[in-house]
Amino acid sequence: METAVEMRGVSKYFPGIKANDSIQFSVDYGMVHALIGENGAGKTTLMRILYGMYQPDEGEILIDGKPEHYSVKGALQMGIAMVHQNFMQIPGMSVLENIILGHAPKKNAGVIDYKRARKEIMQLMRSLGMTLNPDTIIQRLSVGERQKIEILKALYLGARILILDEPTAVLTPQEASELFRIIRSLRNEGKAIIYISHKLNEVISIADCATVMRKGQVVGNFTSMKQVSERELAAAMIGKSDFSLIVGNHLPCKSDPVLKVTDLWYLDLKLGKATIQNLNFEVKRGEILGIGGVEGNGQQELISLLLGTQTANSGRINLDETDITNFTTHRRRETGLGYISADRMTTGLSLNSTVAENIICGKETTSSYSRWGFLKNKEISSVADQLIQQFDIRGAKCRLPARALSGGNLQKIVLAREISRGPKLLIAAHPTRGLDIGAINFVREQLIRQKESGAAILLITADLEELMAISDRILILYEGHFSGEIQDVASATEESIGLYMGGAGQLLKEEGDTI
């Protein structure tokens, strides 16, 4: 097969670090080539070099066998396109505008030929089996749809070499498999696809070959994925041979409830329907209750109601004997609520504030951090330092802005803050999203340790594997109500949960309670 890209001895230095260290990397047309490695291994950097955003400090790049020097513009002209880790989109613009941005078809005098653009895009969408109104504003789309727009953007430019940087990190399984379908069809068209992901099962199922990076170097190559197991990939990544993801003990729990939700209703007036319908459930002391389901079935609303940022239309919420239904967020948290936010970049952390500021947030009035309305800066620093150590938050210093940390370490700050409060109930929303396997294990370990020390944990996630790995009991949310409950997690299958997630719960039950 023809070689699309060859990177020879490419190095890139950043202040204090060699992000890429004489990398050899080549990709063929008609292949999905996975690039894997821990957080901070240098994958994104390498791809940014390939995309022309960074210039390599050493080495050369051959595109279609010819050495090239180029910027982003040059890369796009040569047919290299990149879908970034965080979307490079303009939320206020329409799908169409986002796609043609920078490369609009023009009539005379720079006037955009919208008709042609629309036709081309519709055609492209059809060929990929997508149905989307090109005039929808990006803001209104779901994350999965936005991801597809990114790919459309790349294809619209006629990309032959497509870089996907963690495209599934924020996708639901359904959305992910939709994406895979598209990726496969692109590969079959003969495009070269570079695929970065931390989800090893995905890598095995989609990729044809893989390159492994660690600490800026290439440490391994898999030329075929046929016989490779997740365990092997993980081992190559972290350089240890005995590695696996942590799994919980799934013990059914008989203790008294910490969280008790009764008859909870929430109406979304804009949608004109109830997004939470008559929810009743309990989370017990020492239990991880997993709430699964396709995203957008009421998870976000449920979190808001529990956290108190929105008010329920009816129903009660009790936290450890206290009725917190009418409490403010502040009081709920004082009563013993902890929250690991689904969106660590906006609601989980303040990226422009320092690490210490992030760690004490919400606890600033407690006597250990302040007196007479003034902060005890020394104590705060020492507590923060201690937590940084305890949670192994790499690269963090008290007075450093949180922005400087990588995603995995940012999540550790969130954990440190929430766990150090000693919450009675910990709501963990998508706690391992976008993390590498090392970090995932760390988070899981912390959650299990919390549960063992007697906290109740409400795990809300769209990741089936995770849900089944650490939950002791599972509820599936479907259109605002529970479509199924799984008591015995150890013997549940992905298929059965998948059916519940599709709203087929009743059907299953009638067939005679197979679970």
Partner 1 sequence: MKEKVLSIISPIIAIFLALIVVGVVVICSDQNPLEAYAALLKGSFGSVSNFMSTVRYTIPILLLAISFSICERGGYFNIGQEGQMFMAALTAVAVNDSLRELPKPLLLLVTIMAGVLVSAIISVIPAVLKFYFGINEAILLVMMNYIIELLVTYLMLYSRLADSQAAAMPKSIPLSVSISAPVLYIFTIFIFIGFTAVMKYSVLGYRIRITGKNAAFAKACGIPAARTFLSSALIGGGIAGVAGLFEVLGIYHVMFSNFAIGMGFMGITAALLGRHSPLGMMLGSLVLGALQSGSVMLSTITDVSPEIVQVVQGFVMFFATVSFLYVWKKKKSHLRKSGRNPL
Partner 2 sequence: MNITDLLTITLRLAAPTILVAQGGLFSMRIDIFNLGLEGFMLMGCFTSIVGAYLTANAYLGILAAALLGTLVMLVYAFFIFELHVDPVVCAIAIITIASGLTRFLLVSWFKSSGRLYLPEGAALSTIQIPFLNHLPFVGPILNNHSILVYFALLVPFLVYFILYKTNFGLSLRAVGMNQEAAVSASIPVKRIQYLSMAIGGMLCGLGGAQLAMASNLFNVGMTNGRGYTAIAALILTGSEPIRTFWACLVFGFAEALVLMLSGEGYPVQILSMLPYVLALMVAILPPVVGKMMLRIRTAKTTGKLLQSTVIETENK
Binding site for Mg ion (CB under 5 A): 44, 407
Nearest distance from C-beta of residue 164 to Mg ion, angstroms: 12
**Residues 264 and 278 sit within 8 Å (Cβ to Cβ):** yes
Concatenating the DSSP letter of every residue in 285-353 gives: TT-EEEEE--TTSSHHHHHHHHHTSS--SEEEEEETTEE-TT--HHHHHHHTEEEE-S-IIIII--TTS
> Which of partner 1, ligand ATP, partner 2, none lies near 484, with the C-beta cut-off 5 to 8 A by kind?
none
Residues 384-413 that bind ligand ATP (CB under 6 A): 395, 404-409
Identified binder of partner 2 from the candidate list 24, 54, 57, 72, rule CB under 8 A:
72
346 binds, among partner 1, ligand ATP, Mg ion, none (CB under 5 to 8 A by kind): partner 1
Whose Cβ is closer to partner 2: residue 89's or residue 441's?
89
Q: How far is CA 205 from CA 34, 126, 200, 210, 487, in A?
A: 11, 25, 9, 12, 30
Among 104, 404, 469, 515, contact with partner 1 (rule: CB under 8 A): 404
268-327 residues near partner 2, rule: CB under 8 A: 269, 272-274, 277-278, 313-314
400 binds partner 2 (CB under 8 A): no
How far apart are alpha carbons 187 and 12 in whole angstroms? Answer: 29
Angle between helices 143-156 and 114-128 (to 10 degrees): 110
For 221, list phi and psi in degrees, rounded to 5. Answer: -140, 135
Which does residue 41 touch among partner 1, Mg ion, ligand ATP, none (CB within 5 to 8 A, set by kind)?
ligand ATP
Write the secondary structure of 213-246 as one string of H (helix), E (strand) and C (coil).
EECCEEEEEECCCCCCCHHHHHHHHHCCCCCCCC
Cα 75 to Cα 68: distance, rounded to the nearest angstrom: 9
Out of 23, 34, 41, 82, the residue judged to bind ligand ATP by CB under 6 A:
41
* Pick 17 or 253: Cβ nearer ligand ATP: 17
HSE-up of 111 (CA within 13 Å, CB side)? 4
DSSP characters for 131-145?
---TTSBGGGS-HHH
Q: In the 8-state DSSP scheme, what is residue 401? A: B
Among positions 73, 184, 330, 331, the unique one binding partner 2 when judged by CB under 8 A: 73
Q: Is there a contact between 172 and 144 (Cβ–Cβ < 8 Å)? A: yes
Map residue 124 onto helix, strand or coil: helix
Tell me how far, at minimum, the Cβ of 11 lies from ligand ATP, in Å.
12
Binding partner at 515 among Mg ion, partner 2, partner 1, none, C-beta below 5 to 8 Å by kind: none
5 binds, among partner 2, Mg ion, ligand ATP, none (CB under 5 to 8 A by kind): none
Backbone phi and psi for residue 130, each to the nearest 5 degrees, phi listed first: -100, 145
- Give the one residue of 15, 109, 242, 510 binding partner 2; rule: CB under 8 A: 109
Tokens 């109406």 sit at which residue? 267
Alpha-carbon gap, residue 460 to 71, rounded angstroms: 42
124 binds partner 2 (CB under 8 A): no
Query: CB under 5 to 8 A by kind: which of partner 2, partner 1, ligand ATP, none does 43 bind?
Result: ligand ATP
How far from 152 is each of 117, 128, 179, CA to CA, in Å?
12, 9, 11
Whose structure tokens read 């690991």?
Answer: 340
Give the pairing of strands 374-375 and 257-268. unpaired
365 binds, among ligand ATP, Mg ion, partner 1, none (CB under 5 to 8 A by kind): partner 1
The reply to whether 100 sits near partner 2 by the rule CB under 8 A is: yes
Residues 421-440 that bind ligand ATP (CB under 6 A): 434-435
- What is the rounded CA–CA span in Å between residue 241 and residue 11? 28
Pick between residue 44 and residue 168 the one whose CB is nearest to Mg ion.
44
CA distances from 415 to 111, 340, 404, 406, 420 (A): 51, 7, 17, 14, 8
Q: Which residues of 137-149 are buried (b: 16+ CB within 10 A; e: fewer)?
A: ebeebeebbbbbb
Distance of closest approach, residue 298 Cβ to partner 1, in angstroms: 18
- Residues numbered 231 to 270 that lie near partner 2 (CB under 8 A) are 265, 267, 269
Work out how close the CB of 362 gets to partner 1 at its nearest, in angstroms, rounded to a whole number: 4
Residues 45-64 within binding reach of ligand ATP (CB under 6 A): 45
Closest CB to partner 1 among residues 358, 471:
358
Nearer to partner 2, 152 or 462 (CB): 152
CA 367 from centroid of its chain's CA atoms: 36
Could you say whether residue 382 binds partner 1 (CB under 8 A)? no
User: Judging by DSSP bridges, how do beta strands 17-28 and 3-14 pair with one another?
Assistant: antiparallel
Q: Report if residue 403 touches partner 2, rule: CB under 8 A.
A: no
User: Are the beta carbons of 274 and 265 closer than 8 angstroms?
Assistant: yes
Q: What does DSSP say about strands 314-319 and 257-268: parallel, antiparallel, or unpaired?
A: antiparallel
CB 170 within 8 A of CB 407: no
- For residue 44, the partner it binds in partner 1, ligand ATP, partner 2, none, with Cβ less than 5 to 8 A by kind, is ligand ATP
Residues between 311 and 370 that touch partner 1 (CB under 8 A): 328-334, 339, 341, 346-353, 357, 360-362, 364-365, 370
> Contact with partner 2 (CB under 8 A): which of 6, 21, 97, 418?
97
110 binds partner 2 (CB under 8 A): yes
Residue 91 interacting entry, from ligand ATP, partner 2, Mg ion, none, C-beta within 5 to 8 Å by type:
partner 2
| Stretch 483-512 residues interacting with ligand ATP (CB under 6 A) | none
Interacting residues with partner 2 (CB under 8 A): 53, 71-73, 76, 82, 84, 87-93, 97, 100-104, 106, 109-112, 114, 153, 265, 267, 269, 272-274, 277-278, 313-314, 481, 506
Interacting residues with ligand ATP (CB under 6 A): 14, 17, 19, 37, 39-45, 395, 404-409, 434-435
